[in-house]
């Protein structure tokens, strides 16, 4: 029979339908979180799976999935997957790098401008019926023009964020494991600095780095203490990169002016100290959530699965494989 593919969450049926000529497709009709045992049961017997950030897949979840050849993640970040364990099991892993860069960069800017101009608190105030007269000195926010934007993590999303800064009259500093090649640095008009300098000099600090053992709490109490008390922190990357308890304390004690957060440690739970504050703009992990981009992410996951099995526009060359050595060492794909 045809190989089997499981899609762990509702996506776009017209895109998933492209699998149907080649696969037996099971797509979950509802959004839900699977326990490790439920995931293991669903993965067993599948040849390919398309999963999301809520699905944690590691050695235990694939122990019975003896036919599984690819886990396609519906996200650019893949801290929900144990890449080493999946590689050891001979399973290819793909992500959705690149197709979401511009949407996430737009959203990071929207959050930054929104919190700088206090849109979140002003909207709450209006909706609560407090608007009785217009005050000339009401709701004064911060201009971004002439200020310094700092970017921690200068991958492709960080560069897309930096490229937008010229239009807003901001200078850009960045820190990354290594500096960009000169041409790329020039293209985004950004200057490399060490992490200390980035923390000290940024008026707005945007986090755009993946969550790994090395980046966990990259922004904790010691880092927050180095930032200007007038600075604004924006996190569109991952919860866990910021120590949310330390951040809530810094904001409450006005050691930091404001924050805009799309991601949280332990989401969907949000640290209660953050929920109490008016100088924090919060959103439920939606930086890539535009119609166009969520469709493009689904199409890319589908293309990776199709390609691994020799079908579709990239037949034989899946475009976003994170562990290509697994493909190199795999035997020929034989499926009746
Ligand atoms: C979303 O958070 C992603 O990694 O794509
Ligand atoms: C983020 O930093 C990326 O390049 O995806």
* Residue 269 confidence class, pLDDT cut points 50, 70, 90: very high
Q: What global pTM score does this model have? A: 0.95
Local structure of 233: helix, strand or coil: strand
Its ipTM equals 0.69
Q: Is the pLDDT of residue 8 over 90?
A: yes
| Domain encompassing residue 64 | 4-99+291-329
Q: Which ligand is nearest to the CA of 97?
A: 2
Q: Which residue has the higher pLDDT, 234 or 330?
A: 234
Which of 245, 263, 282 finishes a domain? 282
CATH of the domain at 59: 3.40.50.720
Same domain? 247 vs 178: yes
* Residue 336 confidence class, pLDDT cut points 50, 70, 90: very low
User: DSSP string covering 14-67, please?
Assistant: HHHGGGTTTSEEEE-SS--PPPHHHHHHHHTT-SEEEE-TT--BSHHHHTT-TT
> Can 164 be counted among the known catalytic residues?
no
Compute, in angstroms, the gap from residue 23 CA to the centroid of ligand 1. 26
Q: Is the pLDDT of residue 40 over 60?
A: yes
Q: Which ligand is nearest to the CA of 301?
A: 1
Q: Is the pLDDT of residue 335 over 50?
A: no
Same domain? 264 vs 115: yes
Tell me what pLDDT residue 328 has: 83
What is the percent of the chain with per-residue pLDDT over 70, rounded to a whole number? 98
Same domain? 267 vs 295: no
CB-ligand 1 contact for 76 (6 Å cutoff): yes
> pLDDT tens-digit profile of 171-226?
999 999 999 999 999 999 999 999 999 999 999 999 999 999 999 999 999 999 99
The catalytic residue among 285, 295, 311, 314 is: 285
CA distances for 163 relative to 19, 56, 114, 172, 186, angstroms: 36, 34, 19, 9, 10
Same domain? 321 vs 198: no
Residue 334 lies in a domain: no
> Can 238 be counted among the known catalytic residues?
yes
Same domain? 179 vs 214: yes
Same domain? 39 vs 136: no
> pLDDT tens-digit profile of 78-105?
999 999 999 999 999 999 999 999 999 9
Which of 263, 282, 301 finishes a domain? 282
Compute, in angstroms, the gap from residue 208 CA to the centroid of ligand 2. 7
């Amino acid at each position: 029979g045809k190989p089997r593919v499981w899609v762990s969450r509702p996506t776009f049926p017209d895109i998933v339908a492209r699998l149907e000529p080649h696969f037996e497709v099971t797509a979950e009709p509802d959004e839900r979180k699977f326990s490790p045992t439920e995931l293991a049961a669903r993965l067993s017997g599948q040849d390919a799976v398309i999963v999301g950030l809520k699905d944690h897949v590691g050695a235990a979840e694939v122990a019975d999935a003896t036919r599984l050849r690819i886990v396609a993640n519906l996200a650019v970040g893949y801290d929900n997957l144990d890449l080493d364990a999946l590689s050891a099991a001979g399973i290819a892993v793909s992500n959705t790098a690149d197709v979401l860069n511009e949407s996430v960069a737009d959203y990071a800017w929207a959050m930054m401008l929104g919190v700088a101009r206090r849109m979140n608190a002003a909207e709450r105030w209006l909706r609560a019926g407090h608007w009785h007269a217009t005050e000339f000195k009401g709701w004064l926010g911060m201009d971004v023009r002439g200020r310094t934007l700092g970017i921690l993590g200068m991958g492709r999303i960080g560069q897309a964020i930096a490229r937008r800064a010229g239009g807003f009259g901001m200078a850009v500093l960045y820190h990354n494991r290594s500096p960009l090649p000169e041409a790329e640095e020039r293209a985004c008009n950004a200057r490399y600095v060490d992490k200390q300098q980035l923390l000290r000099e940024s008026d707005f600090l945007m986090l755009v780095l993946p969550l790994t053992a090395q980046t966990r709490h990259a922004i904790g109490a010691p880092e927050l203490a180095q930032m200007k008390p007038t600075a604004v922190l924006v996190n569109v990357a991952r919860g866990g990169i910021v120590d949310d308890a330390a951040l809530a304390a810094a904001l409450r004690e006005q050691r930091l002016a404001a924050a805009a957060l799309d991601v949280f440690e332990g989401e969907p739970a949000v640290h209660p100290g953050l929920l109490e504050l008016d100088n924090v703009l919060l959103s439920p992990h939606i930086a890539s959530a535009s119609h166009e981009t969520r469709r493009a992410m689904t199409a890319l996951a589908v293309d990776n699965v199709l390609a691994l099995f020799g079908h579709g526009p990239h037949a034989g060359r899946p475009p976003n494989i994170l562990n290509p050595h697994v493909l190199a060492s795999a035997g020929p794909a034989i499926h009746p």
